[in-house]
C-alpha cells in the first residue's frame, strides 16, 4: 500500500485538483515519461466505455493494481494532473 500522506496533504490545500493515474506496462511508461510521447488512445472493440485513454481518479493503487493484473511484473502507473472540472463532462463515475 502506498502512503497517501503527500496526496492527502495536496488535496487539503487544493481540493479541486484531480490526479489521474494510468495503468500500463514498462514500454508505455518509458514512451511517456522518458521519451515525452503522448499516451495512445485505445480503440479496442472490448473497451468498457468506448475509445479513449482510461485513468483512475486520485488512486495510484487502483491504476497499478489494474496494470499488475494485466502485465504482471512489468506493471507501471503514470500520474497526470488535470485542472478542476475541465473534462468532467467526459468522465464516467463507476
- Tens-digit pLDDT profile for residues 38-74: 998 999 988 888 888 888 888 899 999 999 999 999 9
Over range 1-14, report the average pLDDT: 58
Distance of CA 42 to the CA centre of its chain: 14
Given a contact cutoff of 8 angstroms between Cβ atoms, the answer to whether 78 and 32 are in contact is yes
What is the C-alpha to C-alpha distance for residues 65 and 86, in angstroms, rounded to an integer?
Answer: 26
pTM (2 d.p.): 0.70
- Of 26-30, 31-35, 52-56, the range with the lowest mean pLDDT is 52-56
The residue with greater pLDDT, 3 or 44, is 44
Amino acid at each position: 500500500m502506498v502512503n497517501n500522506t503527500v496526496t492527502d496533504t495536496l488535496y487539503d490545500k487544493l481540493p479541486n485538483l484531480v490526479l489521474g493515474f494510468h495503468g500500463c506496462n514498462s514500454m508505455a511508461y518509458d514512451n511517456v515519461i522518458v521519451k515525452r510521447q503522448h499516451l495512445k488512445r485505445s480503440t479496442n472493440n472490448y473497451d468498457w466505455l468506448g475509445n479513449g485513454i482510461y485513468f483512475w481518479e486520485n488512486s495510484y493503487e487502483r491504476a497499478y493494481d489494474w496494470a499488475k493484473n494485466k502485465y504482471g511484473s512489468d506493471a507501471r502507473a503514470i500520474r497526470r494532473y488535470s485542472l478542476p472540472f475541465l473534462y468532467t463532462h467526459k468522465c464516467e463515475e463507476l
